[in-house]
Amino acid sequence: MDSVTPFVVLSAILFSIGAVGVLIRRNAIVVFMCVELMLNAGNLALVAFAYHHGGLDGQVAAFFVMVVAAAEVVIGLAIIMTIFRTRHSASVDDASLLKW
Amino acid sequence: MTAFWVLAPVLVLAALGLLFVRKAVHAALLLAVVMISLAVLYAVLEAPFLFAVQIVVYTGAILMLFLFVVMLVGVDASDSLVETIPGQRLSAGVVGILLLVLLLLGFGQLGLGAAQSLGAAGGSDNIRAIADLLFSRYVVAFEVTAALLITAAVGAMVLAHKERLEPKRSQADLAAQRVRDFSQRGVHLGNLPAPGTYARHNAVDTPALLPDGGTVPGSVPRVLVARGSVRDVGGFASSPGSGDGGEQGPGPKSPAAELVEAQIEERAWTRPADDADGRAAAPPGVSDPDDGHEDAAVTGDAGEQGEES
């Protein structure tokens, strides 16, 4: 067992929990939080592998993931606010006009 | 590794709580626990720069943004735990477990090779090495990131902007609306009655009492009545020395709460909802405009005449 293996296993667990949360939660904000959890799980794997290989490229990649996540959260929450303002609901079931 | 074994159960439990808590605020707080624990794990993995960035960007900026949006959106039907697609929750759990097994099998196939230390890159104090890397090899990506952030900020402003479709209602308009409601529907013209003030309870969830022991309609905010968290004041009204303070949480409605609600329904005592954002809310009691308010309408004629001039 490598010393970095528990971190990677924890990352896989967190990613799976985030994926299940995206599937089962109805509130769009909580769905977004689960997406953030998945991004963080990926970050943890990147940093763990960077630690193992003795390089810094993984840390730089995790930094870029954080920046992209920040931009994504800003846009996503603005979209949620807009949808809530027009149909008074933050449920992902109610935004179904583009379904068919 | 001690920090890891302490933090890993906390992380997993908080992440699992994200699946099961009902309120979005609690989910945001659990996510804060996850983020801070991950920051500590980054410090364990000799990434002090990411430790700081994780705390500043994630728990500082992104989670505050989440909390602000939760505050603006509030509580609605999306918090319900009713399953809209039958069997979806179970199948999602099965898919999640399969995904976990797949990931672990995939990681099991990895040949990681011998571990190398970060000594070549500056050891545990590698912030300067990260800066060198960021501004030499990854400088193009770094600049594109700047463009991305600018685009995101402008996009958020465009999305959150709202055109005002009708003129803003001034204070004079609101007063005129109140007088008009009084003359047409008999809605009470003055202030709402204040909540009750007693020796042990003076919060807004205690209704005021009438001389006959009844409660004053409209003395409790509508939101509290809708939530059913109106304090029972029966102990104060009948026998003050009974000692029972009438503590009541937001459980089943007390007789006092039902009384207040019934009285609010039968007399449209509350003002029509004039929302700050000009949303067209149906005023209460608009379905039956004349339910025993002839006397109020008669007395309100003078006010209406003075209003329309």
Please give, rounded to a whole number of angstroms, the shortest distance from the CA of A97 to a CA of chain B: 17
- Residue B205 forms part of a structural domain: yes
Q: Determine the structural domain holding residue B250 and report its residue range.
A: 194-270
Taking CA atoms, A99 is separated from A78, A92, B78, B275, in Å, by: 21, 12, 19, 32
CA–CA gap between residue B48 and residue B62 (Å, rounded): 20
At position B126, the amino acid (one-letter code) is N
Chain segment B140-168, per-residue pLDDT in tens: 999 999 999 999 999 999 988 888 888 88
Residue in chain A nearest B33 by alpha carbon: A37
Task: Say what the pLDDT of residue B239 is.
Answer: 42
pTM for this prediction: 0.69
- Residue B206 forms part of a structural domain: yes
Contact B30, A33 (CB under 8 A): no
Please give, rounded to a whole number of angstroms, the shortest distance from the CA of A7 to a CA of chain B: 8
Contact A30, B66 (CB under 8 A): no
The count of domains in chain B is 1
Residue in chain A nearest B149 by alpha carbon: A71
The mean pLDDT of B102-112, rounded to a whole number, is 85
The mean pLDDT of A59-76, rounded to a whole number, is 93
- Residue B305 forms part of a structural domain: no
Chain B residues whose beta carbon lies within 8 Å of the beta carbon of residue A93: 78, 84
CB environment B170-206: b (16+ within 10 A), e (fewer): eeeeeeebbbbbbbebbbbbeebbebbebeebeeebb
Chain segment B240-263, per-residue pLDDT in tens: 443 344 444 444 445 555 655 555
CA–CA gap between residue B214 and residue B255 (Å, rounded): 11
Q: Which of A81, A66, A32 is nearest to B156 (CA)?
A: A81
Residue in chain A nearest B277 by alpha carbon: A85
- Residue B282 forms part of a structural domain: no
Chain segment B177-234, per-residue pLDDT in tens: 989 999 998 888 888 888 887 777 777 888 888 888 778 878 888 877 777 778 877 6
Chain A residues whose beta carbon lies within 8 Å of the beta carbon of residue B99: 15-16, 19
Task: Say what the pLDDT of residue B171 is.
Answer: 92
Chain B residues whose beta carbon lies within 8 Å of the beta carbon of residue A82: 159-160
- Residue B61 forms part of a structural domain: no
Confidence of residue B304 (pLDDT cuts 50, 70, 90): very low
Q: What domains lie within chain A, and their CATH numbers?
A: 5-87 (1.10.287.3510)
Chain A residues whose beta carbon lies within 8 Å of the beta carbon of residue B138: 60, 64
Q: Which of A46, A44, A40 is nearest to A61 (CA)?
A: A46
- Residue B291 forms part of a structural domain: no
- Residue B231 forms part of a structural domain: yes
Chain segment B223-235, per-residue pLDDT in tens: 777 777 788 776 5
Q: What is the DSSP string of B180-216?
A: HHHHHH----SPPPPPP--SS--STTSPPB-TTSPBP
CA–CA gap between residue B40 and residue B67 (Å, rounded): 22
Please give, rounded to a whole number of angstroms, the shortest distance from the CA of B240 to a CA of chain A: 45
Contact A78, B155 (CB under 8 A): yes
- Residue B249 forms part of a structural domain: yes
Beta bridge partners of A91: A27
User: Taking all residues of chain B, what is their mean pLDDT, rounded to a whole number?
Assistant: 75
Q: Which of A27, A36, A74, A35 is nearest to B54 (CA)?
A: A36
Chain segment B275-299, per-residue pLDDT in tens: 444 444 444 444 444 444 444 333 4
Task: Say what the pLDDT of residue B75 is.
Answer: 62
